[in-house]
Structures are given as structure tokens and as C-alpha cells.
Amino acid sequence: MKDDDNPMSAANTAPRCTARSKRTGKPCQGPAVAGWTVCRFHGAGGGHPAGKDHPSWRHGMRSQKWISERKMLNDMVREARAMEQLIETTD
């Protein structure tokens, strides 16, 4: 039998859920929701949007933007201190 004879062949080749069963420890194997790596039972389509509208948002100082800004600033300070050390040791 050819593959395109079976109307379910497209459904059976759909990407599978990457979650692992809590109960059996085996992969879920359910079809993943389009645009997600997991099935509808394992969190696809769920969750809050990131940012100010997220219920856990407090002050924004731990947002992705602030974390990367702080990292950049700390790197610059570290670099400046290394340069300072270099100048002090050459005296």
C-alpha cells in the first residue's frame, strides 16, 4: 500500500511531543501543537505573555532587558578594573 493511500499518514507523521510522562517515564508521543514542541496536554498554548502583564511582574529589575543591561555594565566595570590594575602594576 502506498503512503498517500492512507488518509491518516499525514497525521501520523506530525511532529511528536517532547514531554516525558511523569507516570511511566516514557516519551509522550502525542502530536505536538503547530508552533510548539509539546502537545495540548503538556503546555502548548498555555502561559502568560512575558512583560508587565505577567502576574509575577513586580518592578521589572529582573526582566530580560535589565539583566542584559546589568551584565553589560558589570562587564565594563570589570574591564575598567583590569585596566586600572594593569596601570598600577606598571608603575
Binding site for Zn ion (CB under 5 A): 17, 19, 28, 30, 39, 42
Q: Which cell numbers hold the place of 16?
A: 511528536
* Identity of the residue, 28 or 63, whose beta carbon is nearer to Zn ion in the bound complex: 28
* Identity of the residue, 9 or 29, whose beta carbon is nearer to Zn ion in the bound complex: 29
Report how far residue 86's alpha carbon sits from residue 22's, in angstroms, rounded to the nearest whole number.
55
Smallest separation (angstroms) from Zn ion to the CB of 19 = 4
Smallest separation (angstroms) from Zn ion to the CB of 32 = 8
> 81, exposed or middle or buried, with CB in 10 Å at 0-12, 13-18, 19+?
exposed
